[in-house]
Amino acid sequence: MAFDKNLYDSIIKEFTVDKEQLQMIAADFRYDLKKGLVDPDESSLRMLKSYLGLPSGKEKGEYLALDFGGTNVRVLLIRLEGEGKFEVLKKVAKPLKVEGEYDYIGADSTAEQMFDLLAELIDEAIEGNHEQKYLLGHTFSFPSEQTDLNNARLIIWTKEFATPGVEGKVVNDLLLEALHRRGINNVQPAAVINDTVAVLLSAAYKQGGTYIGSIYATGHNTCYLEPYADSADKAMILNLESGGFMKLAPNRFDVAFDESSEKPGEQRLEKMVSGRYMGELFGMALSELLKEKGKAYGFTSIDMSGMLEDESQGRTKVQAIVKEKTGHELSAEEAEQVRDLAVTVVVRSARLVTASFVGIIWQLSGEGKVQKQHIAVDGSVYEKMPFVKENIMRALSELLGEEAAQVDTVLDNGGSGLGAALAAAMSVEN
């Protein structure tokens, strides 16, 4: 047995981005970038200021780093030793949501509950020491409007977060209040940065030639160092909130999924590419093939990874995953088609992400040659999802031709913590 051929082929086509479309997306991304620098209202990119350039490499000292960007929050105590060297002295973590126990990211929670959990975790990291002074760098991975390095106001929740009372607020004010409620007066929040900025700082601390930082995980976003070459302004990292890029051709699954999401109309690119959403899109398409249109099976990106890793004859792992999630027994032929569908969704994701990278590279190189550079990327999709890295390389070649040899992507694992510590150190340098 196989699936209905016409339906299957049309679904695959809807998730396929060819070279021409890819080129258009990269060009549109570059256009929005250019527009965003002079006339932000005309661009779908937010281009948020970080008030930071790249680290000098000389940063030293002990700093607290709060990494808050997903369900799992981490606090680290990091010793920077300069020249790319550092040591993690302490690391604690806690989820903001435990199924059946508590949920501080849902619409029924409060900002106090959320920030009290952060304060509790910070207390654990400093082992209850309320005397010694600490500077804290905060990687807060949501779109925030900054007026300086330490003052960041959350514009809007993304990644399906829904806690009331945080949007529109200065996040480090909420944090400071929570610290004070807990009797912690010796921890001073000194910097707020996006996780993309953290990845770029962390990678640039370790090696030169890195101007673009990206997260490819539950969420997706990219930042870059804007040189402000034509003005007297100092170079500054801009958080593009590229997950909000709009000039794309969403297919009917993208559209239907967006309508059912927490923030319809927002984060178009992110909803087409990131780990939080790929499994859902795949599940929607599969429900049509299984003649159960509209049924939500709850596929995650871990399931997608599992299916993509399945090299077996008859795709037995694909069969097992689909059986578990949908109750359907697939034939070997159907399992093959299902795996190809999963591959197609993932390949589209990698190609769209690459188009956004190339938009930035074109903007940075202007009329000149592409500079030799690394793009620093962190996140589970980039690190672990099969087919992603090679499809990024392939799409880079399609878009940049021979100049693709100038560019590579490098994994910067755990950059969120190190980047936060660096930002805290840079707050003193600045």
Residues in touch with ligand GLC (CB under 6 A)? 69, 141-143, 158-159, 194-196, 215, 219-221, 241, 243, 270
Which residue, 275 or 334, has its beta carbon nearer to ligand GLC? 275
Which residue, 44 or 344, has its beta carbon nearer to ligand GLC? 44
Distance of CA 91 to the CA centre of its chain: 22
Output the smallest distance, CB 244 to ligand GLC, in A.
8
Supply the DSSP string of 320-365, one letter for each residue: HHHHHHH-PPPPHHHHHHHHHHHHHHHHHHHHHHHHHHHHHHHHHH
CB 349 within 8 Å of CB 273? yes
Output the smallest distance, CB 54 to ligand GLC, in A.
18
Q: What does the DSSP 8-state code read for residue 195?
A: H
Output the smallest distance, CB 139 to ligand GLC, in A.
9
Output the smallest distance, CB 141 to ligand GLC, in A.
4
The H or E element that residue 65 is part of is strand 60-68
Choose among 227, 277, 243: nearest CA to 141: 243
Which residue, 226 or 241, has its beta carbon nearer to ligand GLC? 241
SS3 of the chain: helix, strand, coil, percent, to 5:
45, 20, 35
Strands, E assignment, 166-293: 187-193, 210-216, 220-226, 236-239
Categorise residue 245: left if φ over 0, alpha if ψ from -120 to 50, beta otherwise. beta
Output the smallest distance, CB 39 to ligand GLC, in A.
22
Which residue, 222 or 319, has its beta carbon nearer to ligand GLC? 222
Output the smallest distance, CB 195 to ligand GLC, in A.
5
With H, G, I as helix, E, B as strand and everything else as coil, classify residue 135: strand
Which residue, 150 or 319, has its beta carbon nearer to ligand GLC? 150
Which residue, 150 or 218, has its beta carbon nearer to ligand GLC? 218
The residues that bridge with 73 in the sheet, in sequence order, are: 94
Alpha-carbon gap, residue 129 to 77, rounded angstroms: 13
Which residue, 189 or 219, has its beta carbon nearer to ligand GLC? 219
Output the smallest distance, CB 226 to ligand GLC, in A.
17
Distance of CA 80 to the CA centre of its chain: 25
